[in-house]
Amino acid sequence: MAFRHIEVKPLASACGAELSGADLARPLDDDTVAEIRRAFLDHLVIVFRGQALTPERHVALARRFGTPERHPMVRAVEDHPEIIAVTKLEHETANFGGIWHYDLTFQEKPTIGSLLYALEVPPHGGDTLFANQYLAYETLSDGFKAVLEGLDTVHTNRAWAPREAYGGQRSIRLYQDDWRALEAVHPAVTTHHETGRKTLFVNPNSSMRFAGWTEEESHPLLDHLARHATRPEFTCRVRWHPGTLVFWDNRCAMHYAINDYHGRRRILHRVSIGGERLPSRTVSPVPKGVAA
């Protein structure tokens, strides 16, 4: 079907598209929202350039696609509980999201997607990569697919603690005083509830082991899947400019924030949309003597 209200220009063969013709600073009519959603489902990552969003409009836009959620680990910006600031300042060397990952899969209901809006970015560097996890699943052998479809993975927020995990980065305001361990069990292969396509759902940042397996047993397979899932031919790359908004589908696309702009400032605002429970096969307790 042709688009009537927006123009869609693919970024890469694997995923990603730039959309034009929509002023996100203004309320959108239902037909335009429907076309944006279709582009989002088709391309997994959609990019809008030259937008002028207030925090209020940022949140209102997110509400057209779901219910914004509060981040369980990062403090919100003042007066806007749905927005977190993704920040790296000139003196910092660590960045936020500098590893291939899905967002917040240690929750029982993983995030559907996020809308990330650029306020300040360096003149070069600080791009974000995205990887299509439909393709990651579809390019596995039939034998490997059969093995994975019988497995659940245990996801934890261990990477968020202790504070030293961020290399001293202080501009990301964590709920560190009342930090608590979180854990969720999700299938290694899921079916996207809107497209019906199967996707690999193994998170290098938080998938610690397979349910019923030890971490030592799990790591060789998890490491292999992490390498496979991020093959270059599965990816697209987004370069940021002030006023760029990127909306990605966290159910089928991983992302990686490139940390190549030391000495420069990068500030973006993120609103994430709450998700749905995934149908895991087990609610597996941690085996005796095995760390979560």
Residues annotated as part of the active site: 101, 103, 255, 270
Q: Which amino acid is at 95?
A: N
Q: Find out whether 104 and 111 touch, Cβ atoms under 8 Å.
A: yes
Q: Which amino acid is at 46?
A: I
Mention every residue, 6+ apart, whose C-beta is less than 8 A from residue 166.
94, 96, 172, 174
Output the CA–CA distances (angstroms, integers) from residue 104 to 97, 132, 147, 184, 207, in the order listed.
11, 18, 25, 10, 11
d(C-alpha 213, C-alpha 210), whole Å:
5
DSSP 75-143: PPBTTBTTEEEEEE-TT----TT-S-B-SSTTSSS---EEEEEEEE--SS---EEEEEHHHHHHTS-HH
Closest CA to 235 of 253, 220, 215: 253
d(C-alpha 131, C-alpha 253), whole Å:
5
The count of other CB atoms within 10 Å of the CB of residue 126 is 21
Q: What is the distance between the terminal CA atoms of the chain, rounded to a whole angstrom? A: 47
